[in-house]
Amino acid sequence: MMQERKSEYQDYDLQIALIGGVAFSCGVSPEEFAVRTPYGDVPVQISKIGTRNVAIIPRHADGNRHIPPHMINYRANIYAIHELGISRVISTNSVGTMRNHPIGSFFLPDDFIDFTRNRSSTFFNERTVHVDVSEPYCPQIRKLLTEALDRRNIGFSEGVYACTEGPRFETKAEICMMRQFGDVVGMTGIPEVVLAKELNMCYASVCTVTNDACGLGNAKMTVSEVLDNLSSVQERLNSVLSDVIRSLPIRKDCNCPFAVSDAEL
């Protein structure tokens, strides 16, 4: 299932995919179609950024319905990218800060902790395959993201992403526990990054800090607060993503293609 092969979508010359989070917009998409996968059909938009055609998957979109984080078909989304012949992915996520990261700033995960419970988190249910997640986020793409943020003088931080099941917000006790070893908390980063590693993809995430985690702020958390903060940084986020996509070299300089060995595939 996982071997290299020619894609029926090769004429698009797609080199990278964007997985968009809540309220993500990358402008007008000239083309949209569904990619069939063993896990379900996935709507994909094709946009041109610089000289590159980019596949965009809106993580929460299903027609006019918003898909909550615990119901997202993560396996279908990642496998659709694989089906398109793409091996590099940048995702956008919204997170709550547990360590005073400024609201409206960006956060680049370098590791994660998984508190999800009920999600299909592997492609390998029929046999045992151990994927290496000692470096879950592609260092080459992360370096380009840090350079783009620095160049544009946009504030950002790095650290550990804690992922919860959702769709509810976390309790104060849960945040108190997680902040001992995590920096931010979100609901969509896992199992996405793990599934990408199982297909030997380069995967990196740029998160928007939209709110204080539960119990750490002075007011009740609301979805409108999250949406307002996402909207306020969308232009800056798009500029950073555009910089990275334009500057991404053809040659990979990372160990992502070896996360799962040939003997296991």
Please state which of the ranges 39-48, 58-67, 184-193, 206-215 shows the lowest mean pLDDT: 58-67
Q: Residue 216 has which token pair? A: 């750490």
Measured CA to CA, the distance from residue 184 to residue 163 in angstroms comes to 9
CATH code, domain carrying 134 = 3.40.50.1580
What's the pLDDT score for residue 197?
97
Task: Answer yes or no: is 265 within a domain.
Answer: no
Task: Answer yes or no: is 155 within a domain.
Answer: yes
Q: Taking the model in full, what pTM does it have?
A: 0.90
Q: Domain limits at 218?
A: 12-257
Helix (H, G, I), strand (E, B) or coil at 123: coil
Question: 162 forms bridges with which residues in the sheet?
Answer: 113, 185
Query: What is the domain count for the chain?
Result: 1
Q: Residue 183 has which token pair? A: 């920096």
Q: Does the CA dihedral 116-119-121-124 come out positive or negative?
A: positive
Q: Residue 153 has which token pair? A: 């003088």
For the segment 117-133, what is each residue's pLDDT rounded down to a tens digit?
Answer: 999 999 999 888 999 99
Task: Answer yes or no: is 246 within a domain.
Answer: yes
- Residues 118, 230, 93, 103, Cα dihedral to 10°: -100
Q: Locate tokens 């030997």: which residue?
A: 200
What's the pLDDT score for residue 99?
92
What's the pLDDT score for residue 78?
98
For the segment 160-212, what is each residue's pLDDT rounded down to a tens digit?
Answer: 999 999 999 899 999 999 999 999 999 999 999 999 999 999 999 999 999 89
